């Protein structure tokens, strides 16, 4: 079975739309390099299009009716959006879901130290990373420091051209004879991923220095003059102290903006496309569909890369609670109606798929691989070693999707994540499937997924956006 090449199906008008959508997508990536930054960007975008915060609607005592748009944010890291449809919610919703956390390196709670004239932040990586890919590249520091009094200090350093950047060192090749014999998993150890943040000792005049060396702590301080210098800058610039790191969430990500790739500018190279490519296209599809029979819903969640755990991960009841609140404002809520709504819903659990890479052909099975430029991807199942841990979508549901996608001329393909037994991966699909709803994995093919810079095809971004629109507009099965 051959699948179409998406590019070949576009007329001039569509090419313009494709470029405009991808420009907006690149901006979305540049503005959202952490979950919190993504939520800020999403809330700003959807409020401008008429979405109201669920909590404020509850407070106002207003009711919800057809066409109303509401959203609920969990701890600034996850969001659920709803647009009320014509039919009762009890008949089910059309749900788009994706995640907005991405692999990266997090700063530890007691991170700052000095060694041999260099100041470092100690780190703990987040999600599945090839650690050797994160050394010797410019890195930016994003996140929040929450002070004891509740003040939130936002940090975003390394993105503007005149910002400083940070980096993790690698061993020079001249001395790497031993290192090069190690396996790739051990070339750079987890504890070696410490970020270089400074090297200039603070200037202390000699009189003060003598005074300072009176106690043991002072002696140590006087020795760690680079670290003292950094602490001085943090105090002056952000009004934060060393102890404030204890209640901080700081993420180290590749510095720089999303870029177009190739003489033909057909691809996008950027950090965090897993899974912000599906988050962006899902959100955009929700905003561009004006009226629907069934209620539309979009959930963009945190913590997928570490197993969908925690209060902001898909396993939390945050989403179910939001649906209950919406049904309550709709006049439909009962425990039974909530269950009916969820079990009768259909979902596209959207996440990136492994794009076929000719350079690593032996890891793929070509007939069942996703190709860049061949459109939206459906994965009937994911998982590993005999589909373990996967949500295996129902054939009836797949047939329904084939029908509605083909009717609207969406270019799509099906894929597995690599050859059988070569590896595998999971998504949020199985978590929603617990409600008894139809769920399938879908999304965009990516090259070098989880690397600091990941690549997607502009045509796939556009086609997936079109596919999501068809899905939310589409009738139930």
The stretch near Mn ion (CB under 5 A) out of 143-151, 152-160, 268-276, 339-347 is 268-276
Site string for Mn ion, 225-264 (x = CB under 5 A): ----------------------------------------
Distance CA 420, CA 161 (A): 45
Q: Which is nearer to Mn ion, 85 or 97 (CB)?
A: 97
Residue whose CB is less far from Mn ion, 197 or 449: 449
Stretch that binds Mn ion, among 66-74, 287-295, 349-357, 430-438 (CB under 5 A): 349-357
Report the residue number, 224 or 454, with the smaller CB distance to Mn ion. 454
Interface with Mn ion in residues 408-427 (CB under 5 A): none
Using the minimum distance from each CB to Mn ion, give the nearer residue, 349 or 414.
349
Considering only the stretches 89-97, 262-270, 351-359, 387-395, report the one whose residues sit in contact with Mn ion under the rule CB under 5 A: 351-359
How far apart are CB 378 and Mn ion at their closest, in Å? 15
Residue by residue, DSSP assigns 4-71 as: --GGGG--HHHHHHHHHHHHHHHHHHHH-SSHHHHHHHHHHHHHTTT-EEHHHHHHHT----TT-EEE
Which member of 224, 274, 357, 454 binds Mn ion (CB under 5 A)? 274
Number of residues engaging Mn ion in binding (CB under 5 A): 3
Q: In the beta sheet, which residues pair with residue 142?
A: 156, 251
351 binds Mn ion (CB under 5 A): yes
User: Binding segment for Mn ion among 64-72, 160-168, 256-264, 343-351 (CB under 5 A)?
Assistant: 343-351
What burial class does residue 311 get, using C-beta atoms within 10 Å of its C-beta: 0-12 exposed, 13-18 middle, 19+ buried? middle
194 counts as binding Mn ion under rule CB under 5 A: no
Distance CA(111)–CA(119), nearest Å, equals: 10
Residue 101 binds Mn ion, judged by CB under 5 A = no
Burial letters for 91-126: b for 16+ Cβ neighbours within 10 Å, e otherwise?
bbbbbbbbbbbbbbbbbeeebbebeeeebbbbbeeb
Q: Which of 35, 37, 228, 275 binds Mn ion (CB under 5 A)?
A: 275
Handedness of CA 319, 321, 322, 323 (dihedral sign): positive
What is the Cα Rg of the chain in Å? 24
Backbone φ and ψ of 458, nearest 5°? -55, -35
Closest CB 383 distance from Mn ion, rounded Å: 14
Binding site for Mn ion (CB under 5 A): 274-275, 351
């Amino acid at each position: 079975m051959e699948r179409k090449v998406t590019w070949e199906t576009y007329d001039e008008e569509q090419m313009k739309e494709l470029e405009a959508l991808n420009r907006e997508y690149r901006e979305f990536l540049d503005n959202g390099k952490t979950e919190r930054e993504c939520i800020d960007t999403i809330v700003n975008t959807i409020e401008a299009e008429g979405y109201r915060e669920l909590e404020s609607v509850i407070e106002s005592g207003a009711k919800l009716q057809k066409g109303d748009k509401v959203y609920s944010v969990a701890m600034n890291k996850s969001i659920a959006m709803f647009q009320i449809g014509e039919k009762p919610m009890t008949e089910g919703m059309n749900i788009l879901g994706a995640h907005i956390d991405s692999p990266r390196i997090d700063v530890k709670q007691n991170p700052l130290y000095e060694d041999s004239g260099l100041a470092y932040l100690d780190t703990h990586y987040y999600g599945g990373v090839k650690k050797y890919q994160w050394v010797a590249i410019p890195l930016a520091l994003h996140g929040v420091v929450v002070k004891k009094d509740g003040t939130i200090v936002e940090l975003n350093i390394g993105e503007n051209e005149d910002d400083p950047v940070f980096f993790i060192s690698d061993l020079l090749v001249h001395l790497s004879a031993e290192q090069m014999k190690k396996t790739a998993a051990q070339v750079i150890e987890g504890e070696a991923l410490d970020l270089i943040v400074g090297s200039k000792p603070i200037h202390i005049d000699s009189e003060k220095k003598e005074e300072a060396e009176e106690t043991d702590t002072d002696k140590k301080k006087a020795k760690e003059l680079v670290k003292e210098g950094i602490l001085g800058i943090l105090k002056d610039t952000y009004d934060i102290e060393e102890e404030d790191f204890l209640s901080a969430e700081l993420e180290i990500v590749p510095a720089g903006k999303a870029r177009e790739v190739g003489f033909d500018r057909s691809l996008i190279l950027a950090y965090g496309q897993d899974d912000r490519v599906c988050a962006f296209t899902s959100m955009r599809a929700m905003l561009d569909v004006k009226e629907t029979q069934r209620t539309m819903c979009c959930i963009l969640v945190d913590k997928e890369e570490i197993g969908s755990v925690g209060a902001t991960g898909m396993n939390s009841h945050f989403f179910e609670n939001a649906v209950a609140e919406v049904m309550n404002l709709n006049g439909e809520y009962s425990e039974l109606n909530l269950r009916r709504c969820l079990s009768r819903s259909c979902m596209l659990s959207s996440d990136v798929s492994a794009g076929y890479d000719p350079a690593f052909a032996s890891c793929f099975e070509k007939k069942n691989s996703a190709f860049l430029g061949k459109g939206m991807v459906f994965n009937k199942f994911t998982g590993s070693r005999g589909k373990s841990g996967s949500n295996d979508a129902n054939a009836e549901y797949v047939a329904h999707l084939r029908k509605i996608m083909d009717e609207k001329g969406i270019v799509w393909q099906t894929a597995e994540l690599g050859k059988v037994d070569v590896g595998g991966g999971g998504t949020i699909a199985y978590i929603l499937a617990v409600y008894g709803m139809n769920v399938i994995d879908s999304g965009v093919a990516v090259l070098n997924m989880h690397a600091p810079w990941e690549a997607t095809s502009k045509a796939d971004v556009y086609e997936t956006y079109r596919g999501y629109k068809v899905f939310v507009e589409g009738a139930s099965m």
